Amino acid sequence: MIPINAAARPKLLIVDDEATQMTALCDTLEDQGYVTTGFTSAKEALAVLRGQEFDVVLTDLMMPEMDGITLLRAALETDANLVGIVMTGHGSIDTAVEAMKGGALDYILKPFKLSVIVPVLSRALAVRRLRLLNKQLEARVEQRTAELTAANQELEAFSYSVSHDLRAPLRHIHGFSDLLRRQHEASLDATGRRYLTKISDSAQQMGVLIDELLAFSRIGRAELKRTRVDLRELVDEVRDLLQPEMGGRDIAWTLGELPEVPADRHLLRSVLQNLISNALKYSAPRERAEISMSTSRESGEFVVSIRDNGVGFDMKYADRLFAVFQRLHSDFEGTGIGLAIVRRIILRHGGRVWAEGAVNEGACFYFSLPDELPVLRE
């Protein structure tokens, strides 16, 4: 006898309109350690299947009341994880193919041979276990996804609420500091005026931080509207927008191939604005700033790079670059949210974002976009 765990004996549903063969097969497989339930009526078997759980159904192919393939299809509608085996005395290739199309895992020929049936059952039970395991994993993934979605929604709602609620006291700080300046500045000494300036500047910086935090929370809720975006045209638009940051600086721009890419134009503009603004800011100490952009196509995606010759960064801190409120250069103005916004937007597009750099040797930021609409500029 094949050793089978008694605590989890496999349950077989056996259907054959020939009572003698059905009974003989049930008895034989019972002796092998299986739990068998046999029927000569396909309709009766289906009725029992709707109320009980079985691991494998073995059904005769040719039966007067209902053929085995029809029975198997109905059984799989009741339990999609059930494994079906067809029994037939007509061992043609066509029969096997038809049985497989009907959802059968395998077929066995009459007259039965135990040496043939047992290996087929072992494989069927292995498939059954895999199906149940996949079902459990899918359920866990769905649960985790639902939990993550709920957590993200709560976090976004919290960020929005906090940002919104901070505006009221910030308005008071702005208002009273301005009132103090207009009505009592003359009576303040140099130290008092310096303190007042610090209060105003800090309040202004807090306002910028709140605006960016609100923008960050909105990105998670914004609907993606993907179109074919002309990357070169968008880069030119962003550079025009950032002209005030360039002043009279000597900046050498090198623009390589910038194709049309599938993206949300509004969100992609935010990505480019943050990355190009960073390149301008961190290359400001250079007498001549050098900023280059290019795009390549790799493994089904566009990879966009933005390189500068600025102050760079230490690669051991690279994992902190795209986190909220993480800043590697305290001597430069910023809120620590810009790169977090970039990362969230790119991830929502199904892409990746990363950076390379070295202290005082510049930096290069990369992001990828899935190549869903592969239209390149000639």
Q: Are 202 and 165 in contact (CB under 8 A)?
A: no
Q: What is the pLDDT along the chain (378 residues), one digit of tens a residue?
A: 444 444 478 999 999 988 988 999 999 999 899 999 999 998 999 999 888 889 999 988 888 888 888 888 888 888 888 898 888 876 666 776 777 777 888 888 888 888 888 898 989 888 888 988 888 898 888 888 888 878 777 776 776 676 667 777 888 888 888 888 888 888 888 888 888 888 888 887 777 777 777 777 677 666 788 889 999 999 999 999 888 888 788 999 999 989 899 998 988 998 999 899 989 988 888 888 899 999 998 888 999 999 999 888 878 877 778 776 555 555 556 556 788 888 988 988 889 999 888 888 889 999 999 887 534 333
CATH number for the region 6-112 comes to 3.40.50.2300
Compute the distance between CA of residue 237 and CA of residue 231 in angstroms, rounded to an integer. 10
Strand partners, 253: 291
Compute the distance between CA of residue 96 and CA of residue 102 in angstroms, rounded to an integer. 10
How far is the CA of 304 from the CAs of 219, 265, 277, 297, in angstroms? 21, 15, 16, 9
Length of the chain: 378
Q: What CA dihedral angle connects 86, 92, 95 and 100, to 10 degrees?
A: 70
- What is residue 12's predicted lDDT score, i.e. its pLDDT? 93
- Listed by start position, the domains of the chain span 6-112, 145-219, 226-370
Residue environment code for 31-67, b if the CB has 16+ CB neighbours within 10 A, otherwise e: ebebebbbbbebeebbeebeeeebbbbbbbbebeebb
**Strands 301-308 and 363-370, sheet pairing:** antiparallel
Strand, coil or helix: what is 326?
A: coil
| Multiple choice CATH, 226-370, 3.30.565.10, 2.130.10.10, 2.40.160.60, 3.40.50.300 | 3.30.565.10
Q: Are 377 and 258 in contact (CB under 8 A)?
A: yes
Strand partners, 289: 251
How far is the CA of 61 from the CAs of 41, 65, 91, in angstroms? 13, 11, 11
Compute the distance between CA of residue 177 and CA of residue 172 in angstroms, rounded to an integer. 8
**Strands 353-357 and 363-370, sheet pairing:** antiparallel
- CA angle 90/94/98 to nearest 5° reads 100
Whether 6-112 and 226-370 share one fold: the answer is no
Q: Quote the pTM value.
A: 0.53
Q: Are 87 and 68 in contact (CB under 8 A)?
A: yes
CATH number for the region 145-219 comes to 1.10.287
- What is residue 252's predicted lDDT score, i.e. its pLDDT? 92
Strand, coil or helix: what is 242?
A: coil
Helix residue spans in 60-113 (DSSP H): 68-78, 93-101
